Chains A and B, each alone.
Chain A
Amino acid sequence: MSSADNKSCCQPKSPADLFFSFTLLALQGFGGVLAVVQHNLVEQKRWMTREEFIEEWAVAQIMPGPNVVNLALMIGGRYFGLRGALAALAGMITVPLVLLLLLAVLYAHFAGHPGLAGALRGMGAVAAGLIGATGLKLASTLKTHPLGQALAVGFCVLGFIAVGLFRLPLMYVLPVLGGIACLLTYKKIKP
């Protein structure tokens, strides 16, 4: 996708718009909302570009707390301050929470059914693929990274090996690998 048709052009109209948008988002996100957030906010609503999305997500990721909740909070806060942040947060949590409690009550009745466990497993596999696909989509932004494509991809691969394959704790990987990447980027970009 060229950068021309991936510009952010639009923004939320009101805190209520944020609340309902994030409620709808959250309800579509099985096994995690992140993939849906990227698809919906960047590719459909165009509230932000892919690059902006990754930048915001870097902050959401580095701060404590659920990443997607952090992201909603930050996007809401960007446009409408604290009101917007709370509206986005409430949208992300309220309706899905009620639904989940209903599901839990239902599940308690049918927990013994073998088909149910299988269905959960099957949906889990699709959800894993969904997040992988989000990574593939966002990886296209590495082409124009200030570090150059090769080095940026290199950092990405190293990160995957450290966290995905070796399961090293994030509290070491992020400061070390992220720190080096940020330092090199700092040298590359113009003051």
Chain B
Amino acid sequence: MNTMLRFTLEWADWLNLFAQYLLLSLLSIGGAISTTAEMHRFLVDEHHWLTPSQFNASIAIAQAAPGPNVLFVALMGWNVGMNAGGWSTALFGVLVTMVGILLPSTTMTYLAAQWGHKNRDLRPVRAFKSGMAPIVIALLFSTSWTLASSNSVDHGEWKLWLAAIIAALVIWKTRVHLLILLLIGALLGWFGII
């Protein structure tokens, strides 16, 4: 975040930002993270509202912090607002992006879930829920794989892979508290061991 961006946002710009996130929300099958490429195009390349390093830091910090990953969207809104003024515009940016990314998808999910639950005894509904199970589990392994490989992409290090695999086995087979493992991971990383 060395290079600073300074600009002002008109109401039309805020509206544009809001509309963009409403649209991304509808496209975000598989989670908001699956639309990050599109966010990068819009925020960094097209409008220059974020620097590339602000964009990457928004994702990295949200990944490392507690809470759902979608909060990286809030950090992007925060940084856009900060670039466009100060604390108050930053908070407004959080509001615009988070409401935008959540409103369409939550409404649709709520309605679909209510319908599905009312009709849960129908054969197609049962077939869908049960039939999707192997794919759902496959997606979990894929996410794990993607995260592990994107971590080690800059460093190409087998140590990060090893850490991820050991962590998986320990969590699978023991009852060690997750925070302890994260702390160990943070310390190993801090001292450059992994």
Do A and B interact?
Answer: yes
B116 touches A (CB below 8 Å):
yes
Bound form: Cα–Cα A57–B182 in Å: 25
**Out of B114, B135, B168, B169, which one reaches A156, CB within 8 Å?**
B135
**9-residue interface stretch from B10-18, B38-46, B61-69:** B61-69
Residues of A within 8 A of B112 (CB): 59, 63
Residues from chain A with a CB closer than 8 A to the CB of B124 are 186
In the complex the two chains form, what is the Cα distance from A63 to B166 in whole Å? 32
Residues of A within 8 A of B101 (CB): 65
A138 and B30 contact, Cβ closer than 8 Å, known pairs A62-B132, A78-B117: no
- For residue B7, CB closer than 8 A to chain A, the reply is no
> Chain B: how many interface residues by the 8 Å CB criterion?
97
When the two chains form their complex, are residues B25 and A135 in contact, meaning their CB atoms are under 8 A apart? Answer: no
When the two chains form the complex, which single residue of B1, B29, B64, B170 contacts A120, counting CB atoms closer than 8 Å?
B64
CB neighbors of B among A159-178 (8 A): 159-160, 162-165, 167, 170-171, 173-174, 177-178
For B181, list chain A residues within 8 Å (CB): 126, 129-130
Assess the B68–A137 pair: CB atoms within 8 A. Answer: no
CA distance A139 to B138 in the complex (A): 9
Q: Tell me the bound Cα distance from A184 to B163 in angstroms.
A: 38
Q: Are B129 and A159 in contact (CB under 8 A)?
A: no
Task: Give A144 Cβ to nearest chain B Cβ, in Å.
Answer: 10
Residues on the A chain within 8 Å of B123, using CB: 186, 189, 191
Among B109, B133, B182, the most chain A Cβ lie within 10 Å of the Cβ of B133
Interface SS of B by simple majority:
helix
Q: Which residues of B contact A97 (CB under 8 A)?
A: 67, 71, 74, 94, 98
Chain B 143-176: CB-based contact to A (< 8 A → 1; otherwise 0): 1111110011001000011011111111110000
Given the known interface contacts A59-B113, A65-B102, A182-B131, the answer about A100 and B71 at a Cβ–Cβ threshold of 8 Å is: yes
Cβ-based interface call for A1 (8 A): no
Contact A100–B75 (Cβ < 8 Å)? yes
- Is there contact, CB below 8 Å, between A124 and B131? no
| A96 and B66 contacting across the interface, CB-CB below 8 Å | yes
Does A48 sit at the interface, judged by CB under 8 A? no
**Contact between chains at B28 and A164 (CB < 8 Å):** no
Cα-based distance from A163 to B191 in the complex (angstroms):
34
- The residue in A93, A114, A120, A142 that gathers the most chain B C-beta atoms within 10 A of its C-beta is A120
Please tell me if B5 contacts chain A, counting CB pairs below 8 Å. no
Q: A129-B164, A185-B131 are in contact. Are A69 and B147 (CB under 8 A)?
A: no
- Which residues of A are interface residues toward B (Cβ below 8 A)? 26-36, 51, 54-70, 73-74, 77-78, 82, 85, 89, 92-93, 96-97, 99-101, 103-104, 107-108, 111, 114-139, 141-142, 145-147, 152-160, 162-165, 167, 170-171, 173-174, 177-178, 181-186, 189, 191
The 5 sampled A-B contact pairs (Cβ below 8 Å) are A69-B68, A100-B67, A114-B192, A124-B160, A178-B135
